[in-house]
Amino acid sequence: MLRGSQTLVRRGLQHSSAGRWSALVAGGAAARVSDASFVEECRAQYLANGWCHIPNFIGKERCAELRNEADALLESDAAFASTDDHTVYQQERDERLPLDHPRNRLMKSTKRIVDYEHVPQESSLRELYSAPELRSFVQAVVGVPELHLSACPYNAAMYNGYYDSDGLDWHFDSSEFGVNLVLQNPTDGGKFEYHSLTRSEEDLWSYDAVTKVLAEADASAEGAATSAETVEGLAPGSLVFFAGRLSLHRVSPVLNPDVRGSTPRINAILTYEKSEGQLASPYTLSKFFGRSSEGQQAHAQ
């Protein structure tokens, strides 16, 4: 009797979670995240490219709702505008090496961020981020034994806004998987450029490979070919994720000719980690979030 009623309660919970997921992503490809053939297709794409792009992952209405929320927050006091120099490794420079060494070369990035602490409690972004359906799906596609929510109160999920001439220069992510939900494209520029598996877990410096990608990037400004690729076709509602911890990537500067008015590039980033309790690095927190490690510790989730 007791066992029977517990089963019923559990089934009821499962139904309500699945029902909530369907409502959250209504009209989008995400309705298929538990479908084995869909997961297989996405896994094949991830293995072939190093990234996986799913157009129209969430429905148009949900996308518009998130875009409107992000747009308002990014223009409010909740936003942190960063203008910073950083190394591709997102670590302090090594004074023993020359300034033009890849370890020390400084990249320039400017953008706005609304971090998780400023995302309203009732926001659909919070629901999407913590949905077990999404986490299991990403885990299956990237092929890791476990995937966890970030313990950082700031980088768990956030909105990014790139306004005129903003961009995020070449870097490796310090968190494991930054899942990118595209909410608005700018008029021009703001492309996502990606070099697959530039470094390995065995050699996290991989200086030769990093030197080569950065030299190619410099030369490509003059029109030369590069082994980095631009991920094409990203549009509002697209979900794209990639091995950003091992692959150099950047967002090219947003170009908004004044005459056509200003349309920022807006997206949400959802952070997942391979192990439980992961926090953001002090370097990343201070450069991109305007936050301290002490604050992170005090509010860790």
Ligand X SMILES: O=C(O)CCC(=O)C(=O)O
In the complex, least distance from residue 283 CB atom to ligand X, rounded to whole angstroms: 13
- Angstrom CA distances, 280 to 165, 240, 277, 287, stand at 27, 21, 10, 11
In the complex, least distance from residue 166 CB atom to ligand X, rounded to whole angstroms: 10
In the complex, least distance from residue 38 CB atom to Fe ion, rounded to whole angstroms: 26
**Binding flags for ligand X, 153-172, as an x/- string (CB under 6 A):** -------x-------x----
In the complex, least distance from residue 1 CB atom to Fe ion, rounded to whole angstroms: 53
Beta strands in the chain (DSSP E): 51-54, 80-86, 107-114, 148-149, 157-162, 168-171, 177-184, 188-189, 192-195, 229-230, 239-242, 248-251, 254-255, 265-273
**Does position 189 bind ligand X by CB under 6 A?**
no
Stretch that binds ligand X, among 6-14, 32-40, 173-181, 290-298 (CB under 6 A): 173-181
**Does position 239 bind ligand X by CB under 6 A?**
no
Q: Pick the closer one to ligand X by CB: 31 or 246.
A: 246
**Does position 115 bind ligand X by CB under 6 A?**
no
Residue 127 makes CB contacts below 8 A (sequence gap 6+) with: 20, 24
39-43, Cβ contacts within 8 angstroms, sequence gap of 24 or more: 39/137, 39/140, 39/141, 42/137, 42/141, 43/140, 43/141, 43/143
The Cα 59–Cα 298 span in angstroms is: 36
Provide the residue count of the chain. 301
The Cα 25–Cα 37 span in angstroms is: 19
**Does position 177 bind ligand X by CB under 6 A?**
no
Here the tokens at position 115 are 């971090």
The Cα 261–Cα 164 span in angstroms is: 10
Q: Please choose which of Fe ion, ligand X, none residue 251 contacts, taking the beta carbon within 5 to 8 angstroms, the exact cut-off set by kind.
A: ligand X
Q: Pick the closer one to ligand X by CB: 135 or 250.
A: 250
Stretch that binds ligand X, among 78-86, 87-95, 205-213, 243-251 (CB under 6 A): 243-251
Q: Pick the closer one to ligand X by CB: 145 or 233.
A: 233
- Select from 109, 180, 198, 278 the one that contacts ligand X (CB under 6 A): 180
**Binding flags for ligand X, 246-275, as an x/- string (CB under 6 A):** ---x-x---------------x-x------
Write out the residues near ligand X by the rule CB under 6 A: 160, 168, 173, 178, 180, 192, 244, 249, 251, 267, 269
